[in-house]
Amino acid sequence: MNTLTRLTNPTSNHIPVMLNEAIEGLNVQRGGRYVDCTLGGGGHAASILEESSPGGQLLGIDADPAAISAARERLREYRRDLILVNDNFKKVERICTAYGFRPVHGILFDLGMSSLQLEDSSRGFSFQRDAPLDMRFSPDQKLTAADVVNTFSERELADLIFQYGEEPRSRVIARHIVRKRPVVSTLQLAKIIERAVGERGRIHPATRTFQALRIAVNEELDNLKLALEQSVNLLGFGGRLVVISFHSLEDRVVKVFMQQQARGCICPPDIPECVCGRAPTLRVITRKPVTPGEAEVEANPRSRSAKMRVAERV
């Protein structure tokens, strides 16, 4: 099945982003062992298992139990070569160790929300439909977006929206939110933000605030940093680390991490000779991030902001 056919397959609501690029980045081999840290609907996992057969194995992780159920159904023909774990990828090293699944040939992160989460109106990720302000990847998490919106101080809200949403109008948005408390639904919050900003540009004025709340609720950036550090320990020599991100904060974390791991020595520049003895652990494969082609963006508009970076264990 060619790339475009896979992207536009009407029988599946889950559209994996940069599918062929991810498989190429992972350098998937027959009989290889791979970890999909963000299983979602199982689109990338299905192709990894297909390309690595016979003998390939995949361990899939997702914090969302609904994603695990959907992937189990989609990947049922590969069930003998598949391990599914309902947990947060911040524990990836512990999970792989528990299942004796190390070293591995490749690790994939497809960050952000899955199509399944966006299309579930009860989850509160989108302001396209009215829903409770939840935004948790896992129902086991305690903090919800409603908790943040209704209990954080105005200053804390403004700082959060600015830091995680890169929203320059964070202070006026936070002020309007605090004045309208309690805020309980997605459409209510979106309307408050729209009135606070008073304009509609290329993107809806609530977009960055919703992104900030989702990142904060799920501790996405901190968990990503933890998982990347662990990934280096799991990869065998020549193994590939592939990360697909969807906004600049994620991409910056991935870029800095890969550059640091490729550099080796971390001694201060004023020290004439290396004393740390730190050797490089990764070789950066993609000097610039890979982005989706025009055909993919047309078939799947959600892919337009995606950036993929690849590094290899050395």
The number of residues making up the chain comes to: 314
Within the chain, all domains assigned CATH 1.10.150.170 are found at 121-218
Whether residue 4 is predicted with pLDDT greater than 70 in this model: the reply is: no
Q: How confident is the model at residue 5 (pLDDT cuts 50, 70, 90)?
A: very low
Residues forming CATH 3.40.50.150 domain(s) in the chain: 3-116+220-313
Give me the mean pLDDT over the 246-266 stretch.
94
Mean pLDDT of 265-280: 84
E-only strand ranges, the chain: 33-36, 57-62, 82-86, 104-110, 235-245, 282-284, 307-313
Is pLDDT at 241 greater than 50 in this prediction?
Answer: yes
Percent of the chain with pLDDT over 90: 81
Percent over 70 (pLDDT), the chain: 93
pLDDT average, residue stretch 304-310: 96
pLDDT tens-digit profile of 109-156?
Answer: 999 777 666 667 778 888 888 999 999 999 999 999 999 999 999 999
* Per-residue pLDDT at 276: 83
**More confident position, 154 or 7:** 154
CATH 2.60.120.10 fits domain 121-218: no
Choose among 275, 306, 271, 311: nearest CA to 290. Answer: 306
Q: What is the pLDDT of residues 169-221, one digit of tens each?
A: 999 999 999 999 999 999 999 999 999 998 777 789 999 999 999 999 999 99
Say what the pLDDT of residue 302 is: 85
Describe the strand order of the beta sheet including 33-36 as a list of residue ranges: 82-86, 57-62, 33-36, 104-110, 235-245, 307-313, 282-284
Which residues, 6+ apart, have CB-to-CB distance to 240 below 8 Å? 25, 26, 27, 105, 106, 107, 285, 310, 311, 312, 313
CA 273 to chain CA centroid, Å, is 39
In degrees rounded to 5, what are phi and psi of residue 100? 65, 30
Per the prediction, the chain carries an average pLDDT of 92
Instruction: Report the Cα 220 to chain-centroid distance in Å.
Output: 8
> DSSP string spanning 17-42?
TTHHHHHHHHT--TT-EEEESS-TTS
DSSP tag of 283 = E
The whole-number pLDDT of residue 117 equals 66
Instruction: Say what the pLDDT of residue 14 is.
Output: 59
pLDDT reported for residue 8: 34
Q: According to the model, what pLDDT value does residue 202 have?
A: 78
The CATH class for the domain spanning 3-116+220-313 reads alpha beta
